[in-house]
Chains A and B, each alone.
Chain A
Amino acid sequence: MVTAAKQIEEEAHQLPIGELAFKAVGIKKHYPGVKALDGVDLEGYAGEVLAICGANGAGKSTFAKLLAGVETPTEGEIRVTGHPRPVHNAAEAEQAGVLMMHQEPLIIDDFTIGENVWLYKLRMGKDIRPWAQKVDSNSQETRDVLRQVGLGQLSTKQLARGLGPGQRQMLSLARAEVAPHKIMILDETTASTSEEHFNDILDLVRREKESGTCIIFVSHRLNEVFEMCDRIAVLRNGMLVDVVKTADSTPDEITTLMIGQALKALARPAPAQTSGKEPVISVRDLYGGAAKGVSFDVAPGEIVGLYGLVGSGRSSVARTITGQRRAAGGTITVRGEQLHLTSPGQALSKGIAYVTEDRRLEGFVKDFDNGENISLVVLPRMSKAGVVQAGVEKTRVRELIKEYQVKGGPDTYTRTLSGGNQQKVVVAKWLEADPDFVVLDEPTKGIDVGARANIYEIIHRLAARGKGVLVVSSEAEELLSLCHRILVMRNGEIAGEFDPEHADTDDLIRTALTHQD
């Protein structure tokens, strides 16, 4: 049931297909010392899907923020068709018909799922008068909207708190169905959703496109970009390199445009000499979190991949064997010693390191600069009687920043770096402790192609130096090209083991999916 008022509202926001939806002229956005955008001209049209691609730090999210009015440009202006003046803030952008889907979905945990669907009404300052007619957040309409984004199985009365990251993202997308808009920005929307939600997003985009919305898809996942978009605008270092039609281009070409050079194919790791060597870690019948009886060994010099869907227990395994959480049962043996890990600190003392999946929460300290973050783990070694030897720390940190090719110096705050560079800081911090066994949980999540290659190289070097490596990932392709051996988890158990030479993406996905009750 759609009310008449809402219909009028929607019509006012619709543009005929092919019409100019927004026009950005000479956009510059300068932060102190950083030119995030340096003169970008870009237009978007109703009924098209425009991808904005670029490596981390290229300025694509900045552009999205400017369009959504979250930030204002230093120079230049963005005009949204039908709005008399350039937008100055997010509220005005919303009035002009720009709907921003943030990377971190705007969900209020203590509201029900139904209420979250109608959240925009609160944000637009409508219907908060106590006597106003309330939207029924449990209505059939709400349920229809949820079904359209693949959340039909959820109750509208359930609190949003319990939703997984993918579901949260989809719930925030449900707003597109109820909020009037003519431009929709998807800022890295697929970064936290799994493959099963991608089709729902595709459907949503298709519907939006038909109704004349201009959709901006900010991403660096090229396969998705090619599946979804009509045109691709490529940014590099704050400049618009080119705008190409998807039909006339290839992912390789876009990659080249993004990083300014052709990316060399990733070399397979040198085969590991594992026979006859004592494993660096051997896990037997491990329970904890979603893991239900997991056993495996990792040999020195071996890169083992751990694949599985969200909730399959792969992260539980990674966190349990690195002391991030306690095991509920089973044994972890390192160098003949059976460990009862109670803290990451203890795991570290046994030569086990964990590079987290959640960089912002666990990876680095937000008020620390690169130097302090890199030395955090090994600080006791850089000190005498608890007093930090400033000279030793400074020298070593400089060396590491150079070695790991971190952008910025020791005094740059890590939080201001792009995802890829943050990850290099986190990796450097752990590897400096010289662990024998390293677990990397989604090491390339939210990282652009350039930095990705760096991380892969680092992992290969680790293995070459005889360390054991476990890479947890939800990207089958990544594991196939990176690992010596791949374990696939399903329902908390290891469901299969593959040799990447004789397996493909399909094998992994099928093993991860089948027999799920």
Chain B
Amino acid sequence: MTTTATTPTEEQQPEQSTRNAALEWLKGQYALFILIVLLIIAALSSPAFLTGTNITNLLLQMSIIGVVVMAELIIVLTGGIDISVGSALGLAAVLCAGLFGGFSVWLALLVALAVGGIIGLVNGWLVSFRGLEPFIVTLGMLALARGLVYAYSEGIPITPEASATFAQIGQTTVLGIPVLTLIWIAMVLIVAFLLRRTVWGRRVYAIGSNKEAARSSGIPVRATLWSVYILGGLLVGLGGWMFVCRFGSATALAGNLMELEAIAAVVIGGAALSGGRGTVFGAVVGTIIFQVIANLLSLLNVSTFLQDAFRGALILVAVTLATVQFARRRSRSPQPATK
């Protein structure tokens, strides 16, 4: 009745429907267009942008936040939000650099994962089993973790014993691509696989879109939610370790305001903060957009403070753009003709 016309009929040429599907997909990718335009502007406005050093630098910068964005994405998909990712990353960074004197990078990795995992465990438990609002839970965690960072580091950058090994990992490249970037790409692929190909991923989307229906359909909602926060925590912990690799030490300000960038990247990538909608691809594009702009601003010698203001403004513009786009898409999408 209402939708017969929307479904492609068997007789349609398969190639044509694939092309249509590709076109449809492109129409939704406004973030991708922004990115392309942005890259062109960047290349034209600053000759330094396309140099090898700058690109490597940009990739390194992206990789850490990129991993955190993956954590934020899965949490946002469930309809939650995690504003503690920056602090959690900071805590993971200082502890993995400082505990046991930081003599081994691999032990440090375990420490970082444990710290992130525990934070995710606590956040997730409070959200899923105690039914608290993700916003307020992670707001508390934000203050708690950052406080611990200051208390542990006493404001002084912590340099691990094996600082050189850390830095070496941060500087190593494979075929010109930094190892940290490869880690980011691996995480992106893993999260994409989990979300798109597994039962768990399907459940994450179902919970974000309609928790009641998910519960009613026999999905273990609370356990799934918890696992999402734990996985998010692990990713953030990994981000903390990558931070130490990149800079050779952990500062008290490690990961400061990163939650801002992570949430913004997810939203620019088209995810709905109400949950249930959003893709890994979009989030990655969002990450790149954000970092390219930051990079461009430093290349153009914009003052640090103004850069912050710029980034804030960018979030507002991007989010507004997203709503415009969303509203238009909604009015175009077929609606139930009758109840």
Question: Cβ of B101: which chain A residues have Cβ within 8 Å of it?
Answer: none
Asked if A418 and B1 sit within 8 Å, CB to CB, the answer is: yes
Type the 1/0 row for A21-57, where 1 means its CB is closer than 8 Å to any CB of B: 0000000000111111100000000000000001111
The answer, among B1, B197, B333, for a CB contact under 8 Å with A57, is: B1
Asked if B216 and A354 sit within 8 Å, CB to CB, the answer is: yes
Assess whether A367 is interfacial by the CB under 8 Å rule: yes
Asked if A377 and B217 sit within 8 Å, CB to CB, the answer is: yes
Type the 1/0 row for A398-425, where 1 means its CB is closer than 8 Å to any CB of B: 0000000001110111011111010000
Give Cα A121 to B200, complex, Å: 49
Type the 1/0 row for B192-208, where 1 means its CB is closer than 8 Å to any CB of A: 00000111101001101
Residue of A nearest to B336 (CB): A416
Asked if B337 and A388 sit within 8 Å, CB to CB, the answer is: no
Question: Cβ of A498: which chain B residues have Cβ within 8 Å of it?
Answer: none
The answer, among A54, A361, A446, for a CB contact under 8 Å with B213, is: A361
Residue of A nearest to B200 (CB): A386
Assess whether A74 is interfacial by the CB under 8 Å rule: no
Question: Cβ of B209: which chain A residues have Cβ within 8 Å of it?
Answer: 365-368
Give Cα A376 to B210, complex, Å: 12
Asked if B197 and A416 sit within 8 Å, CB to CB, the answer is: no
Asked if A36 and B2 sit within 8 Å, CB to CB, the answer is: yes
Question: Cβ of B202: which chain A residues have Cβ within 8 Å of it?
Answer: 372, 376, 379, 388
Assess whether A331 is interfacial by the CB under 8 Å rule: no
Type the 1/0 row for A362-390, where 1 means its CB is closer than 8 Å to any CB of B: 11111110001000110110010011101
Question: Cβ of B205: which chain A residues have Cβ within 8 Å of it?
Answer: 365, 367-368, 372
Assess whether A61 is interfacial by the CB under 8 Å rule: yes
Question: Cβ of A413: which chain B residues have Cβ within 8 Å of it?
Answer: 333-334
Residue of B nearest to A355 (CB): B216
Interface size on B, residues (CB 8 A): 37
* Min distance, Cβ A411 to any Cβ of chain B, angstroms: 7
Question: Cβ of B218: which chain A residues have Cβ within 8 Å of it?
Answer: 343-345, 347-349, 377
Q: Number of contact residues on A: which range applies?
A: 35 or more
Asked if A409 and B8 sit within 8 Å, CB to CB, the answer is: yes
Assess whether B338 is interfacial by the CB under 8 Å rule: yes
Asked if B337 and A362 sit within 8 Å, CB to CB, the answer is: no
The answer, among A343, A363, A387, for a CB contact under 8 Å with B198, is: A387
* Min distance, Cβ B242 to any Cβ of chain A, angstroms: 27
Assess whether A58 is interfacial by the CB under 8 Å rule: yes
Type the 1/0 row for B58-88, where 1 means its CB is closer than 8 Å to any CB of A: 0000000000000000000000000000000
Assess whether A484 is interfacial by the CB under 8 Å rule: no
Residues of A within 8 A of B (CB): 31-37, 54-62, 103, 188, 237-238, 324, 343-345, 347-349, 354, 356, 361-368, 372, 376-377, 379-380, 383, 386-388, 390, 407-409, 411-413, 415-419, 421, 429, 446
What 6 A-B pairs have minimum CB-CB distances, sorted nearest first?
Answer: A57-B1, A33-B6, A409-B7, A36-B337, A345-B218, A408-B3
Residues of B within 8 A of A (CB): 1-8, 197-200, 202, 205-206, 208-210, 212-220, 276-277, 332-339
Given A34-B334, A376-B214, A416-B6; 12 other pairs, CB 8 A cutoff: A56-B338, A60-B338, A343-B215, A348-B218, A362-B213, A365-B209, A365-B210, A367-B208, A416-B2, A417-B2, A418-B2, A421-B1
A to B CB contacts below 8 Å, 10 in the list: A58-B338, A60-B338, A344-B216, A347-B218, A364-B210, A368-B205, A368-B206, A387-B197, A388-B198, A416-B3
